Amino acid sequence: MTSTAKVDGIAGKREWWEKRIEQWQRSGQSQRVFCAQRGLALSTFQWWRRQAKRRETAQTTPAFVPIALGVSAVEIELRSRTRMRFEGEAALRAVEYLVARVK
């Protein structure tokens, strides 16, 4: 990060780069021109911009979509192509277990 003050920690770097991204958005300049005028590496700027977009998407996208469980059967296929089938109450318990493990 040329032409910048020393920034400690990932949170500090994230905040510093988010400010630069906001400045770029307001500037009306291309990323290349914006970075060149400030002595910033274009590739680093683009990397931090992608990270900011990913964080924004992760914050707005729910991890799971709520569903109503009316499960009568669940079939699971393992990598070995072995299939397991659960029915009735066992199917509900299998889904609850799998969902708990994913969290």
Q: Which tens digit of pLDDT belongs to each residue from 87-97?
A: 888 888 888 88
Quote the CA–CA distance of 21 and 40 in Å, as a whole number.
12
Q: What residue spans define the domains of the chain?
A: 9-60, 73-102
CA 69 to chain centre: 27
Q: Which tens digit of pLDDT belongs to each residue from 46-57?
A: 999 999 888 887
Q: Which tens digit of pLDDT belongs to each residue from 57-102?
A: 777 766 666 666 666 888 888 888 888 888 888 888 888 888 788 7
Tell me what pLDDT residue 2 has.
47
Contact status, residue 1 vs residue 44, Cβ threshold 8 Å: yes
- Provide the whole-model pTM: 0.52
